[in-house]
C-alpha cells in the first residue's frame, strides 16, 4: 500500500511519532488530506495508523503540545533503496507554514540517507501539497494517472539523493508554469497592486481591473503562458505572455509579454533574468518565432534587455484623450 498525505512540513517542535498522536490528527485532519485518503479507500485513522506502522522512521510536529502533523518514510523496495514519503496533518498546520518552511527540508535528507530514492503519488486536487513538494525539489511526471480505489488522477513524484544539490531547491525559490493563472488572481492581487503603483503612468485612468474573461479565453485556446516565481508558497514575481500569429505576417507566431514583475525585495541576483529566460523557453516551446517585451524608459529593465540580446523594435507613444 502507498502511504498518503504526501507533504513535508515541520512544526515548532518535532518529536518521534507515537500512536497516541494519531487520534488528534485523525479527528482534525484537514479536508484536502482527508479527500486524498478517501480516494485511496482509507479513513483518516486507518491512513495514519497504517503509515505509522509501515514506516522505518516517522515524526510528529507539535504546536503547544498539540500534534498538528505526522510524517515519515516507509520502504517500497529495500534492495533498490526506494522509500515512500508521506505526511498527514490538521488545519492548524497551515497557520505555522511560513515558520516551518526553512526547517522542514531538514527531514528530507534524513529520509534520503535511508532511501536514496523517494517516490509517491499525490492527488491532483491537493494543490497545496503539490506546490509544497515542488518547493522541496521533487520532480513530477508530466501527466497524472488513475490511482487508488477511486481511480482518480494522481501525479507521481520522485526525488533522488543527488537532486538535493539543486540550487533552487536549497534556496526555496523556483519558477513554475501556472496552468490556470486566472484562478490565482486573488493570490497575487497585492503584487499586482504594487506593480500598478510602481509603473502605471496615468493612475487616475489606469484603475486595476483585469479582464478575467478575456484572459480565460486565451487560456482555453492555449495562447496564454503564465509563469510564477515562488518563495516557498508565496508568489513574489510573475510573467504573463500571449502567443498569437502576427496580424501583418500570418506565418509568424509572436509571443507578446503582457506583464513582467518582481517584488522589489527579490530583484537582487538573477531571478529577473531567469524569469525572462523561462518566458523565452515557454514561448519557443509553443512555436513562437519572435518575442516582445515592453518596459519603461530609464529603468533597470530597459538597461538589462540589450545585454540579453534584445533590440528596440518600436517606440510606443501615449497621451490622455
pLDDT in tens, 22-58: 999 999 999 999 999 999 999 999 999 999 999 999 9
pTM of the model: 0.57
Task: List strand residue ranges (DSSP E) for 6-65, in order.
Answer: 13-16, 57-63
Q: In terms of CATH architecture, what is 13-169?
A: 3-Layer(aba) Sandwich (3.40)
Where residue 101 falls among pLDDT bands split at 50, 70, 90?
A: low
Alpha carbons 263 and 194: distance in angstroms, whole number: 8
Task: List strand residue ranges (DSSP E) for 96-144, in order.
Answer: 117-123, 139-140
Span 178-206, pLDDT tens digits? 888 888 888 889 999 999 999 888 888 99
Contacts of 35 (CB under 8 A, 6+ apart): 123, 125, 126
DSSP 3-state of 311: coil
pLDDT, average across residues 170-175: 72
- Residues of each domain in the chain carrying CATH 3.40.630.30: 13-169, 176-307
Residue 135: Cβ-neighbour burial (10 angstroms; 0-12, 13-18, 19+): buried
Does the domain formed by 176-307 have CATH 3.40.630.30? yes
pLDDT, average across residues 291-306: 90
Contacts of 106 (CB under 8 A, 6+ apart): 10
Amino acid at each position: 500500500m502507498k502511504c498518503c498525505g504526501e507533504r513535508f512540513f515541520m512544526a515548532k517542535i518535532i518529536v518521534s511519532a507515537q500512536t497516541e498522536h494519531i487520534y488528534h490528527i485523525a479527528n482534525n485532519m484537514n479536508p484536502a488530506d482527508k479527500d486524498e485518503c478517501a480516494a485511496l479507500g482509507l479513513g483518516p485513522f486507518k491512513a495514519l495508523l497504517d503509515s505509522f506502522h509501515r514506516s522505518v522512521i516517522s515524526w510528529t510536529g507539535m504546536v503547544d503540545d498539540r500534534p498538528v502533523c505526522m510524517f515519515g518514510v516507509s520502504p517500497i523496495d529495500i534492495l533498490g533503496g526506494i522509500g515512500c514519503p508521506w505526511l498527514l496533518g490538521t488545519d492548524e498546520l497551515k497557520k505555522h507554514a511560513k515558520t516551518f518552511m526553512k526547517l522542514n527540508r531538514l527531514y528530507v535528507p534524513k529520509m534520503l540517507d535511508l532511501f536514496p530514492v523517494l517516490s509517491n503519488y499525490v492527488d491532483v486536487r491537493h494543490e497545496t501539497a503539490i506546490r509544497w513538494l515542488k518547493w522541496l525539489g521533487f520532480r513530477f511526471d508530466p501527466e497524472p494517472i488513475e490511482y487508488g480505489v477511486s481511480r482518480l488522477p494522481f501525479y507521481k513524484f520522485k526525488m533522488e539523493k543527488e537532486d538535493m544539490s539543486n540550487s533552487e531547491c536549497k534556496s526555496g525559490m523556483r519558477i513554475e508554469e501556472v496552468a490556470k493563472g486566472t484562478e490565482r488572481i486573488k493570490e497575487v492581487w497585492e503584487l499586482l497592486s504594487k506593480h500598478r503603483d510602481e509603473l502605471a503612468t496615468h493612475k487616475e485612468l489606469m484603475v486595476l481591473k483585469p479582464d478575467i474573461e478575456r484572459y480565460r479565453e486565451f487560456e482555453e485556446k492555449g495562447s496564454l503562458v503564465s509563469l510564477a516565481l515562488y518563495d516557498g508558497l508565496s508568489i513574489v514575481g510573475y510573467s504573463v505572455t500571449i502567443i498569437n500569429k502576427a496580424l501583418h505576417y500570418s506565418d509568424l507566431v509572436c509571443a507578446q509579454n503582457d506583464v513582467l514583475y518582481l517584488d522589489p525585495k527579490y530583484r537582487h541576483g538573477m531571478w529577473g533574468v531567469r524569469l525572462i529566460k523561462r518566458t523565452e523557453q515557454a514561448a519557443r516551446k509553443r512555436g513562437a518565432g519572435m518575442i516582445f517585451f515592453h518596459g519603461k524608459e530609464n529603468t533597470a529593465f530597459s538597461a538589462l534587455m540589450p545585454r540579453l540580446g534584445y533590440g528596440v523594435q518600436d517606440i510606443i507613444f501615449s497621451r490622455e484623450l
